């Protein structure tokens, strides 16, 4: 059985990819096993953290001790399967989570875990998607197409700062995954959906099947249609990031 992780950051289409892969009859793909708060996709598989009445960051730091002693056994159990039909099994691993999981990269290398690196080259759209999701309170949509046209007002300066952060994050995720058995997928490749999926299926040694996306985008194709102060955003971004605006 092929073991894998989807190594990524928020707003890259990772939930769409995870749920679509999981719908393949030969693949089991869970969400963020190391998500501290709330449920995940395939919540029955998540890591059981110690939880204290403190902030999430401090909780992650405290749990480093537990993870140090239990990570290998936990992942070994996760990657076992009693279902002969499952030929690939994986989960979503967020970049920020790796800073609190001692030994995670050593485990991936030692146990021949394949790494699907998923990034979004257009970090402006990635940042805008994050701002938009928080504003409208919806992060994924399966059926409401009207959400794509709902307009929001954006703090242009904060948006630019987030784009700069995401540029550094993309460099970091590519650097950390160097030397691993990896494939790099970009959000932009989702435009050629089946071709992108076939690339992933080949990497996982899985039968290629035609599959439809399990979720629908909640942002407009033309980002200006969803932003009230789009001219202000353009003026703020165009000097350094004009290539992302169209």
Instruction: Record the pTM.
Output: 0.90
CB atoms within 10 A of CB 101: 20
The list of the chain residues with pLDDT below 70 reads 138-149, 215-220
Q: What is the pLDDT of residue 218?
A: 56
Q: What is the pLDDT of residue 123?
A: 96
For the chain, domains (ranges, CATH) are 2-244 (3.40.50.300)
CB atoms within 10 A of CB 215: 17
Q: Tens digit of pLDDT for each residue in 199-234?
A: 999 999 999 999 988 766 656 678 898 899 999 999
SS3 category, 12: coil
What ranges make up the beta strands (E) of 27-180?
27-32, 88-94, 114-119
- Assess contact for 208 and 88: CB atoms under 8 A: no
Q: What is the pLDDT of residue 132?
A: 85
Q: What is the pLDDT of residue 137?
A: 73
What ranges make up the beta strands (E) of the chain?
2-8, 27-32, 88-94, 114-119, 182-186
Q: Tens digit of pLDDT for each residue in 225-234?
A: 889 999 999 9
């Amino acid at each position: 059985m092929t073991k894998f992780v989807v190594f990524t950051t928020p707003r890259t289409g990772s939930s769409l990819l995870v749920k679509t892969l999981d719908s393949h009859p030969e693949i089991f793909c869970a969400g963020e096993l190391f998500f501290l708060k709330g449920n995940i996709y395939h919540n029955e598989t998540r890591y059981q953290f110690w939880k204290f009445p403190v902030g999430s960051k401090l909780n992650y730091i405290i749990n480093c001790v537990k993870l140090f002693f239990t990570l290998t056994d936990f992942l070994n159990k996760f990657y076992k399967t009693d279902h002969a039909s499952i030929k690939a099994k994986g989960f979503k691993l967020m970049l920020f989570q790796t800073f609190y999981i001692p030994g995670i990269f050593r485990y991936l290398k030692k146990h021949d875990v394949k790494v699907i690196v998923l990034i979004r080259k257009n970090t402006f759209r990635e940042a805008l998607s994050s701002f938009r999701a928080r504003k409208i309170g919806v992060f994924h949509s399966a059926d409401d197409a009207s959400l794509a046209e709902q307009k929001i007002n954006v703090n242009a300066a904060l948006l630019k700062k987030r784009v700069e952060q995401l540029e550094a994050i993309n460099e970091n995720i590519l650097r950390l995954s160097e030397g691993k058995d990896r494939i790099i997928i970009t959000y932009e490749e989702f435009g050629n959906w089946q071709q992108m999926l076939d690339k992933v299926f080949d990497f996982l040694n899985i039968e290629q099947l035609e599959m439809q996306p399990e979720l629908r985008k909640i942002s407009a194709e033309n980002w200006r249609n969803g932003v009230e102060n789009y001219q202000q955003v353009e003026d703020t971004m165009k000097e350094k990031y004009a290539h992302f605006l169209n």
